Amino acid sequence: MDLIRKLVSADEEYLRDESKKVGFAETISFPENHEQVREIMAQLYKDGTSVTVQGSRTGLASAAVPFGGHILNTSRMDKVLGMREKDGHFYITVQPGVILQKLNKAIAARAFDTSAWDEASQAAFEAFGKAPVQMFTPDPTESTAAIGGMVACNASGAKSYHYGATRGHIQALRGVLANGESICIKRGEIFAKGLDLALTTEEGNTINVKLPTYKMPNCKNASGYYCAPDMDAIDLMIGSDGTLAVLTEIEISLLPVPALSWGVSTFFEAESQAAKYTKLAKQIANGIVAIEYFDACALDILRKQKAENTAFAGLPFLPESYGCAVYTELHCDNEDQAYELLESLSKYCTQAGGNPEMTWVATSDSDRDMLHFFRHAVPESVNMQVERTKRTYPEVTKVGGDLAVPDEYFEELLKIYDTTLEEEGLLHAAWGHIGDNHIHVNILPRDMDEYSRGKALLAKWAGEVSRMGGAVSAEHGVGKLKAPFLEVMYGKEHISEMAALKAVFDPKCMLGRGNLFAPQEEVKA
Amino acid sequence: MKIIVCMKQVPAAATASIDPLTKTIVRTGRNAVTNPFDLYALQTALDIKEGVGGTLTAITMGIPAAQKVLRDAISRGADDGAILSDRAFAGADTLATSYAISLGIEKLGGADLVVCGKMAVDGDTAQIGPELAQHLGISHVSDVTEILEMAEDHLVVRRVWDDIDQELYLPLPALITVAKGVNLPKLPTIPGMLRGRVAEIPTFTAEDLGADIARCGLKGSPTQVVRTFTPPVRGEAQEIEGNETQQAAKLAQIIREVLHGED
């Protein structure tokens, strides 16, 4: 079959993703549409070949790293297929390989190739041109993520604090099951009865699913299957890490761009002040769409980068008294609301022991770009640092946490991070979504010993977070790297329930082998 | 030291989008911003004020809504601002604009130092600064890339063009225009934003300034735009030596060569 071909040395890049892990595979395909995916899956099903689905391989949990068998790469499924308008709301159907950054640009510029769209889509596009400018709100740090990958891991980002993760912005999905049958699920059409869910394929076959009985954490979560009594069927597919179906068409929902978008970075001398400020800022009901944190180590890394690397010379000057930072993003209907929010943040800053003069407010594109550069320079700098270590110790990778807990446990978790990192003496930097009690603590190993100790510490934290009723992965997805943690989080019995659910969709256990369920063999570092 | 910084409101090109139906630029009303070069001017002025002491006033000319750039300047550290706004100023070219601004500066009691951005990103003329200095009868240095020394009565500035690197002693009062790399403009603070919002911004009309109407706005603008085009890549900068007369003669010769291809 032409669509499937042997993997050759030039395909080496498809054996890895941003987690820097390297897998193995025998064949690869680059389908361009649903029908080709069906064809490929039907063939692979016959042979019982396992399949790893790839988007743009920006994931951090190794979900796109193949574990033998076939790589189904969706990068050529990069078309925007159509548009729909209902009650003034706009929905766009895309193929899974569409890149977020390109999609956002097209939405902002209202520029799509509509030549192949049907009449209804053309009409919706005409209305779209006259409507207020729209946006797709999920904003993972890696803007080159593919929409399919974002759905597979239920990606989120800074603005998910207000707008929620990808899940809430997915209206319909079409995909291909392991056996090559097609499935289409539209939000609001198919619901579970209690924990029993029945789905019908486009070929007319029914799939009866028994949903797992675990209770999902009461916090941001991208760990394991989404399961709840009477749930919408579409939510099961979102965040399933490529283990239930190959997504081929995704309908996303858009929202109007707010009249004003301002960014406010507030600096504090101490972490405790930042935590208190965040707690106070979270009391604001409307207008704050993101609350992000950067710890002292992250700011030190930026100072060093600015001094040593000309590519980072444009970073704003950070006085030594600026110990850590909380970034808030405001989306407002008018300036009155925005200034009221500034006044509140100023008050909360003072109450938390900070100084409102130690703030940066960005209201223009250039100033917002500056803050964007600042925020994104942190992970970039950390990755550069790890890459330097990798030259001496090739097996070393960044050891990054993606843990979140319910409100009542967040301060306890922060203390655990501080205490254990100090005990271990590991170089680290922490940043992320403090508004969602979700900080990425990244350990930067300088040798193999620190790498091992870092991994052990991450496992320890996963245990603590599970005890608190939190999530071992809040936004990256479980993939292969966090699969052992999922068992810690939900326990063996619930993992068995998940496996039983998967078996209904994928009886030969072909899809996303090693994802969610701990693989039998370790993926090579 | 009394410092005045000139600011201009320009369209935010980055946010411009094309209407898919009319193929025209979508103007949402939200896309007017401070000229990016003026932020370098403002930061230069702030740094000098911090170094030498004194006051810093931002001035602009435009429609009433242009006072937004002055509030922006105050939010970033300027002490106050003033806007020149009058129908009589409408349609002004650089000559008429610099004339009006010079009157505005005189109305504010003059300045020891006037700081302008290198140019505005909408017009790209880079003429306002030098013309303004001429109207005010003060020295000027354009395209300053570094402030090497600052004092109450003088500045030492540097400018680098291609392979020309100059250090210039500039007695005050004077005017400078600054290039992009001269500093890294700081962002406003929350207290700054709140100050900027409530600041009283005086408006001066042509009458307030005692302006000669014949020299204002369209009437006072000898410039006629025949066509607009992207200029070819410019050649290298040349340094003209000699006394003022010799320099002027050489400059005139260069202009003739460019215009008429004369030798």
Q: What is the CATH number of the domain that holds A283?
A: 3.30.70.2190
Query: Does A175 fall in a domain?
Result: yes
B198 vs A: CB within 8 A: no
In this structure, the answer to whether residues A340 and A461 fall within a common structural domain is yes
Per DSSP, the residues of A174-242 read EEE-TTS-EEEEETTT-B-BTTEEEEE-TTS-EEEEE---PPPPSS---SS----TT-BTHHHHTT-TT
Q: Which residue of B has its CA nearest to A346?
A: B190
B17 vs A: CB within 8 A: yes
A105 vs B: CB within 8 A: no
CA distances from B204 to A174, A207, B16 (A): 64, 76, 31
Pick from B75, B187, B189: CB nearest A356: B189
**Chain-chain contact of B20 with A356 (C-beta, under 8 angstroms):** no
| B228 pLDDT more than 80 | no
Phi, psi torsion values for B143, nearest 5 degrees: 60, 40
Give A107's DSSP letter.
Answer: H
In this structure, the answer to whether residues A138 and A207 fall within a common structural domain is yes
A83 vs B: CB within 8 A: no
A363 vs B: CB within 8 A: yes
What residues contact residue A388 under an 8 Å CB cut-off, 6+ apart? none
Interface-testing mutation among B190, B194, B197, B198, with chain A (most A C-beta atoms within 10 A): B190
Helix (H) or strand (E) holding B113: strand B113-117
Report the CATH number that the domain containing residue A171 is assigned in CATH.
3.30.465.10
Pick from A110, A316, A365: CB nearest B187: A316
How many independent structural domains does chain A possess? 3
- Separation CA A311–CA A148 (nearest Å): 32
Query: Does A523 fall in a domain?
Result: no
**Chain-chain contact of A364 with B12 (C-beta, under 8 angstroms):** yes
**Chain-chain contact of A133 with B21 (C-beta, under 8 angstroms):** no
Query: Does A507 fall in a domain?
Result: no
Query: Does A472 fall in a domain?
Result: no
| pLDDT tens, residue by residue, B238-259 | 888 888 888 999 999 988 888 8
At B261, list the tokens.
């291809």
- Give me the residue spans of the domains in chain B: 2-224
For residue A317, list chain B residues with Cβ-Cβ distance below 8 A.
184, 186
**Chain-chain contact of B194 with A342 (C-beta, under 8 angstroms):** yes
Query: Does A327 fall in a domain?
Result: yes
For residue A520, the model assigns a pLDDT of: 46
Is the distance from CB of A522 to CB of A455 less than 8 angstroms? no
Closest CA to A56 of A184, A152, A138: A152
In this structure, the answer to whether residues A349 and A404 fall within a common structural domain is yes
Phi, psi torsion values for A274, nearest 5 degrees: -65, -40
Pick from B12, B26, B75: CB nearest A365: B12
For residue A266, list chain B residues with Cβ-Cβ distance below 8 A.
190
For residue A148, the model assigns a pLDDT of: 98
What residues contact residue A466 under an 8 Å CB cut-off, 6+ apart? A472, A485, A488, A489
Query: Does A497 fall in a domain?
Result: no
Q: Please list the residues that pair with A116 across neighbouring strands.
A: none
In this structure, the answer to whether residues A232 and A285 fall within a common structural domain is no
B12 vs A: CB within 8 A: yes
- Percent residues over pLDDT 90 in chain B: 65
In this structure, the answer to whether residues A396 and A344 fall within a common structural domain is yes
**Chain-chain contact of B17 with A109 (C-beta, under 8 angstroms):** yes
The domain boundary residue, chosen from A38, A57, A73: A73
The domain boundary residue, chosen from A256, A283, A314: A256
Determine the distance in angstroms separating the CA of A111 from the nearest CA of chain B, rounded to an integer. 7
Q: Where are the alpha helices (DSSP H) in A117-184?
A: 119-130, 147-152, 160-163
Q: Which residue of A has its CA nearest to B187?
A: A360
| C-alpha distance across the termini of chain B, in Å | 47
The band of B29, judged by pLDDT with boundaries at 50, 70 and 90, is: very low
At B136, list the tokens.
């005010």
In this structure, the answer to whether residues A193 and A58 fall within a common structural domain is no
| B22 pLDDT more than 80 | no
**Chain-chain contact of A110 with B18 (C-beta, under 8 angstroms):** yes
A259 vs B: CB within 8 A: yes
Q: Identify which has the larger pLDDT, A398 or B196.
A: B196
- Separation CA A501–CA A281 (nearest Å): 41
Is the distance from CB of B91 to CB of B217 less than 8 angstroms? yes
Domain that residue A100 falls in: 80-256
**Chain-chain contact of B21 with A362 (C-beta, under 8 angstroms):** no
CA distances from B90 to B12, B30, B130 (A): 21, 21, 21
For residue A383, the model assigns a pLDDT of: 86
For residue A63, the model assigns a pLDDT of: 94
For residue A128, list chain B residues with Cβ-Cβ distance below 8 A.
20
Over chain A (525 residues), the average pLDDT of each successive run of 10 is 90 93 96 98 95 95 95 98 97 98 96 95 96 95 95 94 97 97 98 97 96 95 95 97 97 96 96 95 95 95 92 90 96 96 98 97 90 90 88 89 94 94 94 95 94 95 96 93 91 94 95 83 36
- Cβ-in-10-Å burial (0-12, 13-18, 19+) of A422 comes to exposed
Give A15's DSSP letter.
Answer: G
Give A435's DSSP letter.
Answer: G
**Strand ranges (E), A389-484:** 399-400, 428-433, 438-443
In this structure, the answer to whether residues A173 and A295 fall within a common structural domain is no
At B92, list the tokens.
């002004």
Q: Where are the alpha helices (DSSP H) in chain B?
A: 36-52, 67-75, 94-107, 128-136, 190-198, 206-209, 244-260
For residue B258, the model assigns a pLDDT of: 81
Q: Does domain B2-224 have CATH number 3.90.180.10?
A: no
Determine the distance in angstroms separating the CA of B86 from the nearest CA of chain A, rounded to an integer. 26
In B, residues 66-95, which contact A (CB 8 Å cutoff)? Answer: 72, 75
Query: Does A480 fall in a domain?
Result: no
**Chain-chain contact of A360 with B36 (C-beta, under 8 angstroms):** no
At A215, list the tokens.
């209770």
At A123, list the tokens.
């009409």
Determine the distance in angstroms separating the CA of A105 from the nearest CA of chain B, rounded to an integer. 10
A131 vs B: CB within 8 A: no
In this structure, the answer to whether residues A66 and A110 fall within a common structural domain is no
Rg (CA), chain A: 23
In this structure, the answer to whether residues A298 and A196 fall within a common structural domain is no
In this structure, the answer to whether residues A63 and A161 fall within a common structural domain is no
For residue B10, the model assigns a pLDDT of: 86
Pick from B15, B190, B193: CB nearest A365: B15
Pick from A129, A360, A362: CB nearest B19: A129
For residue A518, the model assigns a pLDDT of: 75
For residue A524, the model assigns a pLDDT of: 36
At A374, list the tokens.
């600042």
Give A153's DSSP letter.
Answer: T
Query: Does A482 fall in a domain?
Result: no
**Chain-chain contact of A366 with B30 (C-beta, under 8 angstroms):** no
In this structure, the answer to whether residues A208 and A336 fall within a common structural domain is no
| pLDDT tens, residue by residue, B84-95 | 999 999 988 999
At A498, list the tokens.
């998940």
Pick from B17, B72, B191: CB nearest A346: B191
What residues contact residue A524 under an 8 Å CB cut-off, 6+ apart? A21, A22, A23, A24
A170 vs B: CB within 8 A: no
Q: What is the mean pLDDT of residues B95-119?
A: 96
| ipTM of the prediction | 0.88
For residue A7, the model assigns a pLDDT of: 96
SS3 A28: strand
